[in-house]
Amino acid sequence: MQERLQELKADALKQVEEANEVKALQDVKVQYLGKKGPITEVLKGMGKLPKEERPVIGQLANDVREEIATAIETKKQKLENEALEKQLEEETIDVTLPGRPAPTGGPHLLTNLIEEIEDLFIGMGFEVAEGPEVEADYYNFEALNLPKGHPARDMQDSFYITEEILMRTHTSPVQARTMEKHEGKGPVKIICPGKVYRRDTDDATHSHQFTQIEGLLVDKHVRMSDLKGVLNAFAKQMFGEEREIRLRPSFFPFTEPSVEMDISCKMCGGEGCSVCKGTGWIEILGAGMVHPNVLEMAGYDPKEYTGFAFGMGPERIAMLKYGIDDIRHFYTNDVRFLNQFHKA
């Protein structure tokens, strides 16, 4: 069997030496090193050998296989180099000329901003949760303390597919679904980014489709001061350490109490200007403590668990942060606009 292996090696190396193209080398490789090759057959027959001969034959077979493979690779490299040299000699193109740089794209401004916000909240221990854009009426409204016929539904008129299926009007359904999965046991600490849809007339500040990021924290002993601390950290990270925040009473059916959060105007430092309409403050998002009814419908005992929720629009944040005056710029795909924020 040793003689057989030596013969195979000699034959293979001879064919490698005589090969004058890469395809011929590949044929040699398949012929001698393939699964049905003679070396593989030798290895399969080792079971018939005496035990003391098996290690010797096995080592020899591996050495032969490695030597053939090395010879093939060396010859292949040689042939490729020769082919390249021949090609360079035949071509008349000056390959020393610098290449033409291909224009590269990048993430959309909103994508960058959403990922920045995600990273910020992940750093505070939140997880990113997602859900369907085509949503059930129950999760979009009823599970959020908005039963059928509730007047607050008029503020979120949407695109209905059936009477019970619609394009979601906010990412709050993700919160309801996540709480439901936890079966009344905390804690829940998530942010929910995604597209939402409403039957708005498109203008400089409204769009029938836009993005939203909502946050939710449910646990024992969660307080309004916890909400303020999280929002304060968000505002300073996103708009600068010098920014101040204020919370104003408001109304949302799914939170009680509810607040609107304003940040001090960065254009005038809170002194009052045309951007903030003379108030020194700019509205940025809505928030509040999760309504007991919402907790109860999700399976939580509102006497044991409390929580806070908040929601913001990345488009609005981008408009304030970068001085963009029309929400439609985000969606018209004007490269002149997008290129301004390629590195943002």
CB 260 within 8 A of CB 277: no
Report which residue type is found at 225. S
Alpha-carbon gap, residue 146 to 113, rounded angstroms: 30
d(CA 120, CA 113): 11
Sort 24 into a burial class: Cβ within 10 Å, 0-12 / 13-18 / 19+. middle
Closest to 233 (Cα-Cα) out of 223, 224, 241 = 241
Say if residues 252 and 288 touch (Cβ distance below 8 Å).
yes
Q: Is 183 annotated as a binding residue?
A: no
Say how many CA atoms lie within 13 Å of 18 toward its Cβ.
Answer: 8
* Whether 313 contacts 211, CB under 8 Å: yes
Q: Which residues are annotated as a binding site for Mg(2+)?
A: 256
Q: Which residues are annotated as a binding site?
A: 256
